[in-house]
Amino acid sequence: MSEEPNGDSGDLLVILRHGPHGTSYLKEGLDTALVAAAFGRRVSLLFMASGVAALVPGQGAGPLGQKGTQPTLAMLEMYDIDRLFVDGAGLAELGVAPESLTPEATVIEGDAIAALMAEHALVLTF
């Protein structure tokens, strides 16, 4: 499962634009990715805008009684979801260092993002 970032196409690209708190977008996007992978689809993830905050380590579930997303992110590997991409502009905007991300993700920007979308049969945005 070690595909080149811009090599073989996948079935589904899930774009995650929201951070772990405030809305359920991130959780629902990750749920969709896990379900697709469980059904044997090849899934890639792209974290954009506030979504890059999902990869910042050390976040708790918070006082609202909602489940955190870190445990789900930790399960991605078990589902063979190992093509993780993160928007460099989103990282810069939030001042997050790429090497601090958990799990690790490949930084891409600009045209590479367009190419990534084009090489997937289905793109779902959350």
Partner 1 sequence: MRYAILLLGAPYSHQAAHSALRFARAVIARGHHLEAVFFYREGVHNAARLASPPQDEPHLVDGWTTLNQEHGVRLEVCIAAALRRGIVDADEAARHGKQGHSVQAPFELTGLGQLVDLGLECDRLITFGA
**Which residues of the chain form contacts with partner 1 (CB under 8 A)?**
11-12, 24, 28, 31-32, 35-36, 38-39, 41, 121-122, 124-125
Smallest separation (angstroms) from partner 1 to the CB of 33: 9
Phi-psi region at 95: left, alpha or beta (left = phi > 0; alpha = psi -120 to 50) = left
Smallest separation (angstroms) from partner 1 to the CB of 23: 10
33 or 53: CB nearest partner 1: 33
75 or 92: CB nearest partner 1: 75
67 or 92: CB nearest partner 1: 67
Smallest separation (angstroms) from partner 1 to the CB of 119: 14
Smallest separation (angstroms) from partner 1 to the CB of 95: 26
Question: Alpha-carbon distance 57 to 75, whole Å?
Answer: 15
SS3 content of the chain, % helix, strand, coil (to 5): 40, 15, 45
Radius of gyration of the chain (CA): 14
35 or 92: CB nearest partner 1: 35
DSSP alpha helix (H) spans, 4-125: 25-38, 70-75, 88-94, 111-118
Which residues are CB-contacts of 60 (< 8 A; sequence separation ≥ 6)? 68
